[in-house]
Amino acid sequence: MPRGCPNAAIIQELGIIPVEYEIQIKNKLIEYHRIITMTEERLTKKSVVKAEQIGSINLYWMMHTQYWKNNIIYNDNQINNMTANQWKRLVQKKVNVQ
């Protein structure tokens, strides 16, 4: 595919996501688990929780969108109780790299 080709048009036309994007989605979902399992005192968690409370588009919003798109039906408490390896296996299974 030529470098000048618009990615959004290709995705819309073919209905497939480039492998690079799928890898980015997986990495974001894994990072989300890391943040969710942090203690409440950590600045990263505080900023994500505060952004969620004021209703801004943030990591929580993006990850819940990815849950919906990839049929991941777990709430934050269930995700918080998973180990990093359990979450990673789930993400690997649900977000399939073609």
Q: Please state, in angstroms and as integers, the Cα–Cα distance from residue 76 to each residue in 4, 7, 19, 25, following that order.
A: 40, 32, 27, 18
Give, to the nearest 10 degrees, the angle between helix 19-36 and helix 43-53. 100
Task: State pLDDT tens for residues 7-62.
Answer: 777 777 777 777 787 888 888 888 888 888 889 899 988 888 888 788 777 777 77
Q: State the CB neighbour count (10 A cutoff) for residue 76.
A: 12
pLDDT for position 98: 42
pLDDT for position 48: 82
pLDDT for position 43: 92
Confidence at 63, pLDDT banded by 50, 70, 90? confident
